[in-house]
């Protein structure tokens, strides 16, 4: 029987104790692995944020934003010009539009920039005006000419499948826009209100539009919306060749500032306003960095705890077997042999603990990661919510939800993306975690065995 | 040949200096069965521990052949214990979760003997001390006292040592079993030309050995 086999066999001397040790180690190692996995997941999320959210630039006409302000409109040629700027990976253009039910009177001061007013539709707004909606001036549910009043339906023409903030639309039914003319994505609440499903049709300025998909933007206000291909929006509004704003995706967050300057130079600083979404994302990344720190500290603390547990358990085991160690030395066992035997014994316990702990980590890492992120994001999320509230109120009253959607949507999408951390236990992460566990197993078991093995056999045996 | 010269061991216990072995001198020729007798606390077990390099003397020398083991470093002492001596303890001191055969194979493993050879010799030794195949494969803590002591003797012989040191080998056994174990050691001494030094307080047993030394308060009082 070799040293290794003897070490393994020794773990079965006391099943109850070994089981308890394995259980305690499994909790420690499992927690450590969960922290490691959470750390990896947060790392991935930061990379994803940097790649998808933090690297967008929004180009508006100078002095204008969405349906508000002034300045000269952007043209399709501006889109092409931005495409040619270095580090610009993708360009999406959008044109907000307001839809008003053809049988009701609108609230607020909605006017398209060509002075044509809102587009008429047979859709009913899914948002009731309520008290807040009436603050624009009308105090009753019917307008001046006796028609019922309703809130407008926000819409936009888009080139891809991203909203005005550059965030990918979450399609819950049907498919994305392909650019096919007179097709639309409708918000979940709007679809419910008007009994729309995939393949249903509705009208905008007497043009029949087919529903190809239903999206969910997680608020009643934003789910009261319609997205159509940019060309369709241009045709419906009669603003051919115009775009309201352009979203430029930069290849790396590091090139954001230089690209912002390059676009301004290309289109003329007096002609366009270029803003970046970097600040919001930096806030989110900062929160995630805190989670990373917490997970690293948690990993180290759990590993130290597992190491201390191993050390104390092995200390008890070694002290219990002092006489046996003396006998092994008396019959020719070297210090190295004895230490190796106890090390194997400790490693077997740690390996079993790691095995059970891995199962624990697999089951709990997602919950732990999301709990860490949620608890850490609550404060920054609160800050963002209050900022959103400050911005939303007056904008609705002014009847310009385009602006509110752009700003508020960006904050919310970042927050949602950050909160939705998905863990996956990678082989490398698992390997590092298990190697760390085995390292503490070696140290935790070798130290007590080494101290006992160095003592002269007679002292050990006399001490019994 | 074992030559002990001016062997002294001192240590401090509860603030008092104790000298369990005090200037002991004797010679034991090769192949002899010698007994060390004396009352409890006379220093018999301490002397045996010094002879087996389980402890270091304060003074004096122990020559085994031409080597003074008191001058050897720890690594060499391990080799000395591994190859040159075999221990038999009063408490048997077998590894409880190993079988009788595995216990006997253990010193051979330490000495680097190959597995098959370890098994062959282990079985041979256990048969020599009278344990059949069934007993050989039993865990040592499932054997009787006499059987465990037989396993301990087989283990002591595993690496074919020149010297066997036995500390009260019959102390935990009934008279009949004790006599059988003593006879076994005696036969081994004769047949294998092994020097055996056994500590005992049983004068009848001591009377049957080739040599006997009496220890009193750590000093050699008499010998035969």
Domain with residue B195: its CATH number is: 3.40.50.300
Check: CB of residue A414 under 8 Å from CB of residue A168.
no
> Residues A177-225: pLDDT tens digits?
988 999 999 999 999 999 999 999 999 988 999 999 999 988 888 899 9
Å between B69 CA and nearest CA of chain A: 15
Beta-carbon separation of B155 and A2 below 8 A: no
> Residues A229-252: pLDDT tens digits?
999 998 888 888 888 888 888 887
Are residues A96 and A150 both part of a single domain? yes
Please state, rounded to an integer, the average pLDDT across all residues of chain A.
Answer: 78
Total number of domains in chain B:
1
Are residues A152 and A270 both part of a single domain? yes
Residue that finishes a domain, picked among A276, A302, A335? A276
Residue A298 has pLDDT above 70, yes or no: yes
In DSSP terms, which residues pair with B24 in a beta bridge?
A: B7
Residue that finishes a domain, picked among A276, A309, A330? A276
Are residues A288 and A369 both part of a single domain? yes
| pLDDT score of B4 | 93
Task: Return d(Cα A126, Cα A144) in angstroms, integer.
Answer: 22
A450: which chain B residues are within 8 Å (Cβ-Cβ)?
Answer: none
Check: CB of residue A247 under 8 Å from CB of residue A78.
no
Are residues A341 and A425 both part of a single domain? yes
| pLDDT score of B104 | 95
Beta-carbon separation of B75 and A334 below 8 A: yes
What is the distance, to the nearest Å, from the Cα of residue A161 to the centroid of all Cα atoms in its chain? Answer: 19
Task: State whether residue A334 sits within 8 Å of chain B by CB.
Answer: yes
Are residues A60 and A116 both part of a single domain? yes
In DSSP terms, which residues pair with A95 in a beta bridge?
A: A157
Residue A448 has pLDDT above 80, yes or no: yes
Check: CB of residue A104 under 8 Å from CB of residue A148.
yes
The pLDDT confidence band at residue A382, using thresholds 50, 70 and 90, is: very low
A10: which chain B residues are within 8 Å (Cβ-Cβ)?
Answer: 97
CA distances from A464 to B11, B42, B91, B119, B141 (A): 17, 19, 11, 32, 18
Bigger pLDDT: A235 or A51? A235
Residue B82 CB neighbour total at 10 angstroms: 22
The residue-averaged pLDDT of A427-451 equals 82
> Residues A307-343: pLDDT tens digits?
888 888 888 888 888 888 889 999 999 888 888 888 8
Are residues A157 and A207 both part of a single domain? yes
Beta-carbon separation of A331 and B106 below 8 A: yes
Number of H helices, E strands in chain B: 8, 10
Check: CB of residue A1 under 8 Å from CB of residue B98.
yes
The residue-averaged pLDDT of B147-153 equals 91
> Residues A104-144: pLDDT tens digits?
766 554 545 445 568 889 999 888 877 666 655 544 455 55
Residue A427's nearest CA partner among A358, A352, A380 is A358
Owning domain of residue A74:
56-276
Percentage above 70 pLDDT, chain B: 99
Task: State whether residue A336 sits within 8 Å of chain B by CB.
Answer: no
Are residues A130 and A271 both part of a single domain? yes
Residue that finishes a domain, picked among A253, A276, A299? A276
pTM for the full model? 0.62
Are residues A41 and A74 both part of a single domain? no
Bigger pLDDT: B137 or A379? B137
Task: Return d(Cα A63, Cα A71) in angstroms, integer.
Answer: 5
Are residues A347 and A440 both part of a single domain? yes
Residue whose entry in the numeric block shows the structure tokens 């912002």: A260
Strand order in the sheet with B219-223: B85-88, B163-167, B195-200, B33-37, B211-216, B219-223
Beta-carbon separation of A332 and B159 below 8 A: yes
Number of H helices, E strands in chain A: 13, 17
ipTM greater than cut 0.85: yes
Total number of domains in chain A:
2
DSSP assignment, residue B170?
T
Quote the crossing angle between the two packed helices A3-10 and A335-398, to the nearest 10°.
60
Are residues A39 and A117 both part of a single domain? no
From A3, A12, A330, residue closest to B52, measured CB to CB: A330
Owning domain of residue B167:
2-223
Task: State whether residue B162 sits within 8 Å of chain A by CB.
Answer: no
Asked whether the CA dihedral B153, B158, B164, B166 is positive or negative, the reply is negative
Are residues A228 and A328 both part of a single domain? no
A323: which chain B residues are within 8 Å (Cβ-Cβ)?
Answer: 93
Å between A460 CA and nearest CA of chain B: 10
Are residues A324 and A263 both part of a single domain? no
Task: Return d(Cα A134, Cα A397) in angstroms, integer.
Answer: 8
> Residues B38-90: pLDDT tens digits?
888 888 889 999 999 989 999 999 998 888 999 999 889 999 999 999 998 88
DSSP assignment, residue A87?
T
Å between A13 CA and nearest CA of chain B: 7
Task: State whether residue A86 sits within 8 Å of chain B by CB.
Answer: no
């Amino acid at each position: 029987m070799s040293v290794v086999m003897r070490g393994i066999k020794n773990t079965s001397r006391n099943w109850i104790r070994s089981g308890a040790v394995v259980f305690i180690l499994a909790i420690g190692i499992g927690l450590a692995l969960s922290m490691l996995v959470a750390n990896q997941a947060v790392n991935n999320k930061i990379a994803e944020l940097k790649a998808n959210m933090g690297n967008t630039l929004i180009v508006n006409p100078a002095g204008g934003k969405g349906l508000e302000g002034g300045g000269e409109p952007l043209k399709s040629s501006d889109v092409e010009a931005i495409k040619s700027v270095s580090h610009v990976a993708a360009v999406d253009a959008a044109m907000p539009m307001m839809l008003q039910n053809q049988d009701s009177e609108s609230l607020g001061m909605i006017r398209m920039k060509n002075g044509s007013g809102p587009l008429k539709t047979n859709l009913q707004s899914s948002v009731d005006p309520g008290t807040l909606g009436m603050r624009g001036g009308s105090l009753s549910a019917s307008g001046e000419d006796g028609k019922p009043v309703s809130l407008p339906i926000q819409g936009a023409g888009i080139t891809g499948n991203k909203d005005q903030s550059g965030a990918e639309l979450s399609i819950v039914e049907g498919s994305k826009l392909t650019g096919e003319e007179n097709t639309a994505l409708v918000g979940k609440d709007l679809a419910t209100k008007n009994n729309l499903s995939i393949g249903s049709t509705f009208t905008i300025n007497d043009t029949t539009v087919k529903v190809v998909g239903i999206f969910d933007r997680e608020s009643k206000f934003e789910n009261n919306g319609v997205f159509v291909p940019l060309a369709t929006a241009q045709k419906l509004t009669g603003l051919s060749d115009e775009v309201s704003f352009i979203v430029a995706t930069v290849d790396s967050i590091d090139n954001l500032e230089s690209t912002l300057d390059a676009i301004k130079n290309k289109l003329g600083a007096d002609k366009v306003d270029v803003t970046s979404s970097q600040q919001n994302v930096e806030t989110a990344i900062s929160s995630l960095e805190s989670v990373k720190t917490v997970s690293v500290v948690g990993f180290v603390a759990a590993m130290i705890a597992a190491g201390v547990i191993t050390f104390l358990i092995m200390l008890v085991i070694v002290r219990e077997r002092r006489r046996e160690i003396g006998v092994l030395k008396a019959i020719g066992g070297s210090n190295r042999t004895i230490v190796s035997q106890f090390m194997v014994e400790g490693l077997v316990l740690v390996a079993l603990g790691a095995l059970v702990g891995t199962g624990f980590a697999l089951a709990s890492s997602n919950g732990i990661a999301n709990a860490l992120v949620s608890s850490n994001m609550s404060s920054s999320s609160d800050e963002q919510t209050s900022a959103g509230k400050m911005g939303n109120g007056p904008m609705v009253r002014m009847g310009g939800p385009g602006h509110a959607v752009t700003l508020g949507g960006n904050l919310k999408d970042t927050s949602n993306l950050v909160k939705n951390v998905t863990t996956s236990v990678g082989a490398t992460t698992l390997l590092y975690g298990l190697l760390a566990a085995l390292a503490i197993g070696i140290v935790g078991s070798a130290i007590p065995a080494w101290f006992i093995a160095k003592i002269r056999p007679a002292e050990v045996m006399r001490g019994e | 040949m074992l030559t002990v010269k001016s062997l002294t061991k001192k240590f401090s216990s509860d603030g008092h200096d104790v000298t369990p072995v005090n200037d002991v001198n004797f010679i034991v020729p090769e192949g002899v069965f010698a007994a060390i007798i004396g009352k409890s606390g006379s220093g018999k077990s301490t002397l045996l521990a010094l002879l087996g390099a389980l402890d270091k003397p304060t003074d004096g020398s122990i020559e085994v052949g031409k080597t003074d083991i008191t001058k050897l470093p720890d690594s060499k002492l391990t080799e000395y214990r591994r190859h040159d001596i075999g221990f038999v303890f009063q408490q048997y001191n077998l590894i409880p979760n190993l079988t009788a055969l595995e216990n006997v194979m253990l010193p051979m493993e330490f000495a680097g003997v190959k597995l098959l050879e370890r098994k062959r010799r282990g079985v041979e030794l256990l048969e020599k001390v009278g344990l059949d195949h069934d007993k050989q494969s039993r865990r040592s803590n499932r054997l009787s006292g006499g059987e465990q002591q037989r396993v301990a003797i087989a283990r002591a012989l595993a690496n074919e040592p020149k010297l066997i040191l036995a500390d009260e080998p019959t102390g935990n056994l009934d008279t009949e079993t004790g006599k059988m174990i003593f006879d076994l050691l005696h036969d081994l001494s004769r047949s294998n030309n092994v020097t055996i030094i056994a500590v005992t307080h049983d004068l009848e047993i001591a009377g049957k050995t080739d040599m006997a030394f009496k220890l009193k308060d750590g000093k050699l009082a008499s010998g035969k």
